[in-house]
Amino acid sequence: MLFDTHCHLNFKTFDNQHEDVVKRACEAGVNYIVVPGTSYESSKKAIDIARGFERVYAAVAIHPHHIFEIVENRNDPDGIKANLEKIESLLDDPKVVAVGEAGIDRHMYRKTKYRDYKVEEEFISLQKTFLQEQVKLAVKYGKSLILHNREAKKEFIELISEHWDSKLEYRTVFHCCEPEPELLEFARAHKLFIGVDGDVAYTPEKQEFIRKVPLDILVLETDSPFLSPDRKFPNEPKNIAIIARHVADIKGLTVNEVSKKTTENAKKLFSL
Give the binding site for Zn ion (CB under 5 A): 101, 148
Q: Are 247 and 220 in contact (CB under 8 A)?
A: yes
User: Which position's Cβ is nearest Zn ion?
Assistant: 148
125: left (phi over 0), alpha (psi -120 to 50) or beta: alpha
**35/70 with CB nearer Zn ion:** 35
**146/247 with CB nearer Zn ion:** 146
Taking the complex as a whole, how short is the minimal distance between the CB of residue 270 and Zn ion, in angstroms? 15
Taking the complex as a whole, how short is the minimal distance between the CB of residue 98 and Zn ion, in angstroms? 12
DSSP string spanning 126-179?
HHHHHHHHHHHHHHHHT-EEEEEEES-HHHHHHHHHHT--GGGTTSEEETT--S
**173/210 with CB nearer Zn ion:** 173
Taking the complex as a whole, how short is the minimal distance between the CB of residue 179 and Zn ion, in angstroms? 15
**128/148 with CB nearer Zn ion:** 148
Taking the complex as a whole, how short is the minimal distance between the CB of residue 198 and Zn ion, in angstroms? 13
Count of other CB atoms within 10 angstroms of residue 177:
27
Q: Are 149 and 105 in contact (CB under 8 A)?
A: yes
CA-based angle 250:265:211, to the nearest 5? 20
